[in-house]
Amino acid sequence: MPRAKRLIESAVTIDGFSLIWRLHREQQWSAVDESKGISIHVRVSEGVRKELHLEYPLEMTHRAGAIRRTPVQPRILPAKVEAHIREAMADGWDPASRGKPYVYVLEELPN
What tens digit of pLDDT does each residue of 41-88 get?
999 998 889 999 999 988 766 666 665 555 567 788 999 999 999 999
Q: Has residue 71 been placed in a domain?
A: yes
Can you say whether the dihedral through the CA atoms of 85, 12, 109, 34 is positive or negative? negative
Overall number of domains in the chain: 1
Identify whether the C-beta of residue 106 lies closer than 8 Å to the C-beta of residue 56.
yes
Say whether pTM exceeds 0.75.
yes
Q: Has residue 36 been placed in a domain?
A: yes
Position 67 scores a pLDDT of 58
Position 59 scores a pLDDT of 76
Q: Has residue 3 been placed in a domain?
A: no
- Domain extent, residue 47, equals 9-105
Cβ neighbors of 104 (< 8 A, separation 6 or more) are 52, 53, 54, 55, 84, 87, 88, 91, 93
Q: Has residue 1 been placed in a domain?
A: no
The model's pLDDT over 17-46, given as tens digits with 9 standing for 90+, comes to 999 999 998 887 776 777 788 999 999 998
Q: Has residue 25 been placed in a domain?
A: yes
Q: Has residue 48 been placed in a domain?
A: yes
